[in-house]
Amino acid sequence: MKLTAKLWIGIAILIVLSPLGLLLPEHFKAGSAWGEWGADEMRELVGYIPKGLTKLSGLWQAPLPDYAFKGWEEKGLPLLSFAYIISAVIGIVVVVLLALIIGKILSKKGD
């Protein structure tokens, strides 16, 4: 089996396992994922909101907030799991396409 086939199989396994991000934090009472805090969570953790975070917090809105489609947050675990898988696929497709585009641009500069 080629190395690229093994890579894609590994990525597919990770995609299927992505809904564990819903189950494990709740099971272990872990709260939010490290580094994915909003301004309100930052206030709870640190006691205040840093000025830079306050200034930049409205700059970027995630295309799929909380890895789910708008209105799906209350639909239950099966639909949220599906949304996590779709989010993973979209993220991987975007990263692969960007890597291919950058690779093409860089390879043309080398000629």
96: in domain: yes
The predicted model scores a pTM of 0.72
Q: Is the confidence at residue 36, as pLDDT, over 90?
A: no
In this structure, of 61-65, 86-90, 98-102, the range with the lowest mean pLDDT score is 61-65
pLDDT of residue 110: 63
The predicted model gives 23-39 an average pLDDT of 76
Structure tokens at 27: 């099971």
101: in domain: yes
- One-letter amino acid for residue 32 of the chain: S
| Tokens 């006691």 -> residue | 47
Please give the tally of structural domains in the chain: 1
pLDDT of residue 101: 96
**Domain span including residue 77:** 3-32+65-109
85: in domain: yes
47: in domain: no
Q: 71 Cβ partners below 8 Å, 6+ apart?
A: none
DSSP 27-88: HTT--SPTT---HHHHHHHHSS--HHHHHHTTT---SSGGGS-TT-TTS-HHHHHHHHHHHH
